[in-house]
Structure 1
């Protein structure tokens, strides 16, 4: 039984932020596969989902290759993570359904929710990058699909194809606003407003992360200076304690000598 489930994340092993991000992307990917398989979609909406699915698979394959390169035992890593490689092939339709097995990873993740927060707090930079990756994919996916569904076929609309929807999402989330593509419906304006707010928040987090990269070395130096000062104070305190101990021993010896003199 253990041999068959080697590719599952052990229940006592807390995931890293990037493992958590890959699991969330796996869940999104499974939802996309189910929609492509069972839902009745227009051709352009299907193309958007296929584009997103291919992008997620590219992330999966890149993550797999990076971890394979870093692994001490390449063969052992492949044995434990072969399902990730197979499920990350976007061009072969039957293999897309293999991504359903990744639901088991998500279920296992839910079971160990208590062990997630502490490791993530200890790896803030990695958690930030993983969160940004998941946020970017999620926002672009939902924004592209929803705006295409809402705007397609409306009088005066200029977002008709998958490329138009994806380009509009990228431009809107970056708050550049070229104006070549824009929503004309009320629902489309509402979606655009949400995407803009998400984009401002998204790049605000990126700015804070970049600032922390430059500020962190200074904080590290301050911590080193403080630790050196604490060490010096401890050494001085120990030296004083040793000196006091020697004086106390000397006084005890003198008292003993005085007692011996009186007895004699």
Structure 2
């Protein structure tokens, strides 16, 4: 029963943590495209949204070429994932709608698997790394956009451009705090406090992740070691059972030989008795 249960857990095949992270980023990028297309925003906010979208496109393209390099059959990969490359091309708004197909493909993978939690738990390191990447992109993007919208019209504000908003978000989430750009409004201070707390939590998770990489063994390595131990135990049990059966057969053969020997001795003694009677 244990082996069957373990086999069923390993046979669960669902989307990888990075596929789920790319799906969330695709949803976010589609939202950016909708805002850029249908909303009237000022020039600096539009530049900031375009910068964020281009950065997400570069992430998509890097993952596409990485998976293409790893794929054993590159023609097959290109045939089934060419839409990922098309959706990763920046600065062409018409092609960005192709990211909807990325989302639909991952949703189809989610629907095809019986559970989503167990595959993520079995790939704990990939899940942590994908979650950190996704959280960093979302926090930086959201914080920079909101702080630019809030501070742009405030009196005495020094965060006026897309570059300044991105720089402030990077400095704040890293808790460095250069102080060259800072919010002046109450809402900006609240946003800054949230970003600082998020940054502390974010780098705390990174520290724990790095510790697990160098200290704790990988879950797949543990499972392989457990599997090897189980195979060795099963092999030893098989050898022990075979030896016991062989010893049992030898004992049976020995008993049969002793029985045959007694029977032969009985017959010999009977023949001797008959010879003596004839004499």
TM-score of the superposed pair, with normalisation by structure 2:
0.76
| Equivalent residue, structure 2, for 1:4 | none
Which of 229-238 and 15-24 deviates more? 229-238
| Equivalent residue, structure 1, for 2:187 | 187
CA contact (8 A) 2:33 2:93 kept: no
Distance 2:244 2:83 in 1: 67
| Equivalent residue, structure 2, for 1:216 | 216
Unmatched segments (≥5 aa) in structure 1: 1-11
Cα distance change, pair 237–202 in 1 and its aligned pair in 2 (3 A): same
| Equivalent residue, structure 2, for 1:98 | 98
Cα distance change, pair 233–66 in 1 and its aligned pair in 2 (3 A): closer
Q: Does 1:16 align with 2:16?
A: yes
SS, match of residue 115 in structure 1:
coil
Larger radius of gyration: 2
| Equivalent residue, structure 2, for 1:37 | 37
Q: Does 1:138 align with 2:141?
A: no
Q: CA deviation at 1:230?
A: 10
| Equivalent residue, structure 2, for 1:27 | 27
**In angstroms, what is the RMSD of aligned CA positions?**
3.4
| Equivalent residue, structure 1, for 2:247 | 246
Q: CA deviation at 1:246?
A: 3.4
Paired positions, count? 252
5 Å-filtered alignment, 1:80-229, equals: 80-105=80-105, 107-108=107-108, 111-112=111-112, 114-217=114-217
Cα distance change, pair 21–228 in 1 and its aligned pair in 2 (3 A): closer
Distance 1:237 1:138 in 2: 55
Distance 2:218 2:83 in 1: 43
Unmatched segments (≥5 aa) in structure 2: 1-11, 267-279
Distance 1:97 1:240 in 2: 64
SS, match of residue 41 in structure 2:
coil
Q: Deviations over 1:171-213 (max 9, x none)?
A: 1111111111111111111111111111111111111111111
| Equivalent residue, structure 2, for 1:78 | 78
CA contact (8 A) 2:16 2:120 kept: yes
Cα distance change, pair 198–114 in 1 and its aligned pair in 2 (3 A): farther
Distance 1:230 1:129 in 2: 32
SS, match of residue 65 in structure 1:
helix
Distance 1:76 1:112 in 2: 21
Q: CA deviation at 1:237?
A: 11
SS, match of residue 190 in structure 2:
helix
Q: CA deviation at 1:107?
A: 4.1
Q: Deviations over 1:140-164 (max 9, x none)?
A: 1110111111111201211111111
Cα distance change, pair 107–123 in 1 and its aligned pair in 2 (3 A): closer
Which of 163-172 and 103-112 deviates more? 103-112
Cα distance change, pair 112–157 in 1 and its aligned pair in 2 (3 A): farther
